[in-house]
Every structure is written in C-alpha cells, then in structure tokens.
Amino acid sequence: MARSDYLFTSESVSEGHPDKVSDRISDEVVDIYLGALPEARVACETLCTTNRVVIAGEVRGPESITTEQIVEAARAAIKDIGYEQEGFHWEKADVAVYLHAQSAHIAQGVDASGNKDEGAGDQGIMFGYACRETPSLMPAPLYYSHKILERLAQVRHSGEQPTLAPDAKSQVTVRYAGGKPVGVTSIVLSTQHTDENQTSRDIRDIVEPYIRETLPEGWISDETVWHVNPTGSFVIGGPDGDCGLTGRKIIVDTYGGAAPHGGGAFSGKDPTKVDRSAAYAARYLAKNVVAADLADRATIQLSYAIGVADPLSIYVDLHGTGNVDEAKLEKVLGEVMSLSPRGIRTKLNLNRPIYARTSAYGHFGRDPDGDGGFTWEKTDLVDALKSALS
C-alpha cells in the first residue's frame, strides 16, 4: 500500500548554474543546426570553467555553419544569462569549438534507407510522468522549486533586485497528507550575490517575499525551516566557482526524483536521439492520460534499440489510481501515436530550433509556446485516448 503521509524533497538550479550554462550553450548549437537544416544531427557537449568554454561533439549539417557562428551564439547565451563577472564574462571568455562529423557507423544504423525506417539514435529507456499535484500535472516539490528560481531570475533581469547574480539553487520539502501536498516544511535557497558585505540575513530579506508569493497560500507556516545562503557569502559562483558540464542535472530536468529516470540527458541532442524525443513523448502520453481522467498518476516507460524504429516495449503504471486496465492502455498508446523516432518528431513537430529555452527550469511542466515550443505539454490527445478505450 502506498504511503499517504510523508515528506518529499526536490531541488532546482537556475539558468546561471554552471551545468545549466553548459546545457544552454549545447542547446544553442542544436538550434543553430536545426534552424539551418531540420534533418541535421547534433550531439554536443559543453564544458564551462573560469573564463573558458569548450564545445565538443559530433554534427552533420550544412557546411555554411561556421565556428565563428557557434562562438557568437555561446557568447550571446552567456550574456543573456547575465554573466559579466571577472571570472566569467561573455565577452572575455575563451571559447573553443571541437565539433566533427558524425560517425558513419552510427549514421548507417539511424538513417532511413530503402524499406528501412529511420532507427533510434541509441538504445535506452525513457520515462514519462504526470500527476494531479499542480496545474501543469507535475510533482509539487519540483514545480515550486522551479518557480522560486524563475521568479528570482525575473527580478534580477528586470533590475528590481540588482545585487542578485545568476547562479542559484533552490530546494523545497513538501508535506503530504492523505497523499496530497499540503504544506512546506523546509526551504533551501542559495543565490549568488554581487555585494560582498551582504549577509545571509540580508539575502533572506531580499528573497523571502518572492518565495512566499510563489508558494500556495497557507503552505508556509511558523514551523517552516528556512536555510538561505547557509554557508554565508556566495559572491564567487557560476563557472568561475564550479566547473559546468552538459547533462549533469537530469533529475532537475525531469521530475525531481518523484518518478524514475532512464539515465539519458536531453540538452545538446537533436530529436533523432530518443534520450530526448522519446522522453518528451513519454511525458506527452502520461500527461494526456491524467488529463483524460484515466488516472490521477501515470508513469510510462519506453525502450529502444539503436537502429530499430519501433519501441521494444511500452510499460504503464497508474499507481493504483487508474480506472482503465493498464495492459489495454499500453496497447492503445502505441495505436494513438507512432512511437518511432520519426513518428514522435512528426507528431510533436520537434525538428525545429526550440531547444535553448528548455535548458533551464525543467523540460516538463511548461506552457506550450505560440511558436511551437513545448508541444509535448499539450493535452490534445485526450479525445483520441477516450475514444480508443471506450
């Protein structure tokens, strides 16, 4: 029997966290290539440290894309995040690019040819999850951890709070009663700041009003424990304080630990890589299952083999909250949506430069954009699911 009364914690990191700077730059590279050629292939990794950025990986796309173009995109991303510090500056950092052609052996397994459909870009397992805890059908601890940092980024960028700097982390512990989130028992917030004379108390005075307005009314009580900049001064931060790498925040990117993770990172990969596209598809299916009132919680697993188009398996767990047979639902999901790499990209319209925006504050639980970003957050499969199960 599932527990109904417990505490659960999730964390988030800001766009200025070193790993997120790396994710952003890698996804900018993906967008450059897909913007020039929708069928481009990209597997890009970025390392960021003190005034140095290293971009490496494999690509296949137009030769018109130059190293200079990639360098300028990296600098623009760093500037947009807000880094103009002595140890990490958008204009002064040394940016090195080591991108080379995609392996022909990988290409021969992935590309469509003759009667062979396009295969998955790698083997692997991907999970999607949805629940009724928040309006976006995401777990509450992660959802509010993201929202806190998004709000602080807004007031930093606007100039309302000029001493806040780009690097930040949040952590929220939520109390569940009767299986539902009802309050927050602890809040952890560490944010980089520019004034060396500011104390932890000073920073709490700045951030607490924004945190309170972000969380649901009544969730913070006199018993809620606060840890704001608990180590004291946090002036040296970002890639100058800690090396950043693409793909190190996969739990932040997904469900905050409330659901399984297949292990593959998203950023820096074009959508032929099922690590990314099939994880988006699994979230899309799970969200639509919950939105269709088929369950209050849904976990969906997909599995693939490199060079093989169709998934090897589809697994559904409704956690005892469903009103439909899970085995039947597994069969229906494969019927209402093609889950081959090509089918996923076509249904969700993924072959476009929409990925830099995903690199911070989670790939899931976001509102679909007017220009086609976050299509996997739509609930337009509800009617098809209900019809297929009726």
Binding residues for L-methionine are 58, 102, 242, 273
Could you read off the pLDDT of 287-345 as tens digits, one per residue? 999 999 999 999 999 999 998 999 999 999 999 999 999 999 999 999 999 999 999 99
Q: Which fold has domain 18-110?
A: GMP Synthetase; Chain A, domain 3 (3.30.300)
262 vs 270: CA distance, rounded Å: 18
Contact 333, 344 (CB under 8 A): no
Q: What is the Cα gyration radius of the chain?
A: 21
Mean pLDDT along residues 114-141 = 87
Strands (E), 91-250: 94-101, 124-131, 164-177, 180-193, 225-228, 244-245
C-alpha dihedral sign at 137, 140, 146, 152: positive
pLDDT category at 112 given cuts 50, 70, 90 is low
| Boundaries of every domain in the chain | 6-13+141-236, 18-110, 124-132+248-254+271-389
Q: Which residues are annotated as a binding site for Mg(2+)?
A: 19
Residue ranges for the known binding site for K(+) are: 45
Query: Which pLDDT score, from 0 to 100, does residue 122 have?
Result: 82
**Residue 77 pLDDT exceeds 60:** yes
pLDDT band at 104 (very low <50, low <70, confident <90, very high): low
Q: Looking at the domain 6-13+141-236, which fold is it?
A: GMP Synthetase; Chain A, domain 3 (3.30.300)
Residues annotated in the binding site for ATP, as ranges? 17, 167-169, 242, 248-249, 265, 269
> Higher-confidence residue: 2 or 53?
53
Question: Are domains 18-110 and 124-132+248-254+271-389 of this chain identical in fold?
Answer: yes
CATH code at 124-132+248-254+271-389: 3.30.300.10
Residues in the annotated binding site: 17, 19, 45, 58, 102, 167-169, 242, 248-249, 265, 269, 273
Per-residue model confidence as pLDDT tens digits over 235-255? 999 999 999 999 999 999 999
- pLDDT score, position 107: 55
Amino acid at the residue 150 = E
Q: What pTM did the predictor assign?
A: 0.95
Write down the pLDDT at residue 148: 98
> Residue 116 — pLDDT band, cuts 50, 70, 90?
very low
Q: Nearest 5°: CA angle at 248, between 18 and 28? A: 65
CB atoms within 10 A of CB 34: 22
List all residues 6 or more positions away from 76 whose beta carbon is below 8 Å from its beta carbon. Answer: 28, 90
